[in-house]
Structure 1
Amino acid sequence: MKESKKKNTIFSLLNNSTLIYRFFKPFYIFLIVNSILITGCSALKKNENVDICSSTSFPCLLSNEYVLLITNRGNIKLELYGKSAPITVGNFIDFVEKGAYDKTIFNRVIREPYPFIIRGGESTFIDKNTGKIRYIPLEIKLKTKKLPIYGKEIDISNQINNIELKHKRSYLSMARNKSLNSASAQFYILLKSLPELDGRFAVFGKVISGMDIVDLIQEEDFIIEAKRVDF
């Protein structure tokens, strides 16, 4: 009972009124997200031999990618793991290249009662090419599976232990609301390990330099520019 209460408290800390429930009715969100999943991810569930990136309409990358966040506090370099989270990484890189993170603030920083997360990115970034908000499915890969699991939380203990990318200090994960498939452009960086979040949110990369800068970030600090870089 206490563990369940703790998880719900953590979720409420990650979620707030700035997310998409503020803008759309829940039923409308359900229709949008499910229409995307039908066209974008149906092929991913057929078998484990499918080529993910040729079987989805979402941006998708199977390679390791690198992003430099130039902030008012200093530079933060990210490594993103496309083999483990191809759709999440493809989505993030696509937003980087569209300038979605440029001149945006870190809109939530939680350090009390202990270091928790910093959150960046706009939850309602509209793709100028489509005029719509893009939502991606929850994407979690197990070490024993060739493909990630989509649109489903991992809540069985032996499977949780088998998750490839976990919520550790310096790692990046996608923010979402209560709908499993509601991640878009908003992300967070962990200030401490939070195993309570494993299996519930999509981890897709980590900070490889500049964690000292991350530790300085306060709410209203901002990203001057985010750009894709070589290793």
Structure 2
Amino acid sequence: MKFLSYAFAALVALASPVLAADGNDYLTIQLKSGPVVIELLPKIAPKSVERLEKLASEGKYDNVAFHRVIEGFMAQTGDVQYGNMKKGYDASRVGTGSSDLPNLPAEFSKTPFVRGTVGMARTQDPNSANSQFFIMFGDGAFLNGQYTVVGKVVSGMDNVDKIKRGQGSNGEVSDPDRMIKVTVGRPAK
């Protein structure tokens, strides 16, 4: 019987290897409304996952603003250069910064952009993702194959839905919400 359980588990793992995360490949983002748990997808975006985990483990994402938030589309954050609301926040430059690490190559996949998908933000250059990422409020098929999918929200999407929306033409947010603390791993129960 034990063999059948292992065999079944192996078949399940083989059936969905693209979306299976490793045991520790989670980010927990603490928002003012509560935690958001993101399952990272290292099998489809290993370099991007490694980057997010590195920046989170170094505390670089703590207090970083959701600087661009568009109703029905997405909430963007992760500008560790200009977006830290406790030190160095620059409202005129937030969204243009990155980390001090080199840009990442595109890791496009067939994984679709749907509600809860987490993608790497970039410029017009497909190989310009660095530290910024976004969480989808709804489906965005027009992004499929054009942006790197790095993860998916597995709990706390109701907290994502409470992020303050932008009023500007490009979703710019005045007095934005922020990621209070970002940690690698699932939250303690």
One fold, TM greater than 0.5? Answer: yes
Residue 196 and residue 125 in structure 1: after superposition, are their counterparts in 2 closer, same or farther (change >3 A)?
closer
Q: Which has the higher helix share?
A: 1
| Structure 2 match to 1:174 | 120
SS in structure 2 at match of 1:206:
strand
- Given the alignment, which residue of 114, 124, 127 partners 2:97? 124
Could you tell me how far 1:73 is from its partner in structure 2? 2.1
| Structure 2 match to 1:203 | 149
* CA deviations over 1:159-183 (Å, ceiling 9, x no partner): xxxx1x2101101000000011100
Could you tell me how far 1:85 is from its partner in structure 2? 1.1
Q: Alignment RMSD, CA only?
A: 1.6
- Given the alignment, which residue of 45, 63, 66 partners 2:22? 63
Separation of aligned partners in 2, 1:230 and 1:223: 16
SS in structure 2 at match of 1:184:
coil
- Structure 2 gap ranges (5+): 1-20, 80-95, 165-172
2:64 is aligned with 1:91: no
Separation of aligned partners in 2, 1:103 and 1:125: 15
Separation of aligned partners in 2, 1:184 and 1:73: 27
Aligned AA (2:118): L
Report if the CA contact (8 A) 2:28-2:186 is conserved.
Answer: no
- Structure 1 gap ranges (5+): 1-61, 127-131, 142-162
Separation of aligned partners in 2, 1:99 and 1:138: 24
Report if the CA contact (8 A) 2:37-2:186 is conserved.
Answer: no
Could you tell me how far 1:72 is from its partner in structure 2? 1.6
Runs of 4+ in 1 over 6 A off after TM superposition: none
Superposed counterparts of 1:75-154, under 5 Å: 75-111=35-71, 115-122=72-79, 124-126=97-99, 132-141=100-109
Could you tell me how far 1:63 is from its partner in structure 2? 3.1
Residue 230 and residue 215 in structure 1: after superposition, are their counterparts in 2 closer, same or farther (change >3 A)?
closer
Indicate the percent of aligned positions where both proteins have the same amino acid: 31
* CA deviations over 1:104-125 (Å, ceiling 9, x no partner): 11001101xxx01000110524
Report if the CA contact (8 A) 2:66-2:177 is conserved.
Answer: yes
Could you tell me how far 1:230 is from its partner in structure 2? 4.0
Separation of aligned partners in 2, 1:117 and 1:74: 18
Query: Normalization by structure 2: what TM-score?
Result: 0.70
| Structure 2 match to 1:6 | none
Separation of aligned partners in 2, 1:192 and 1:108: 15
Aligned AA (2:45): A
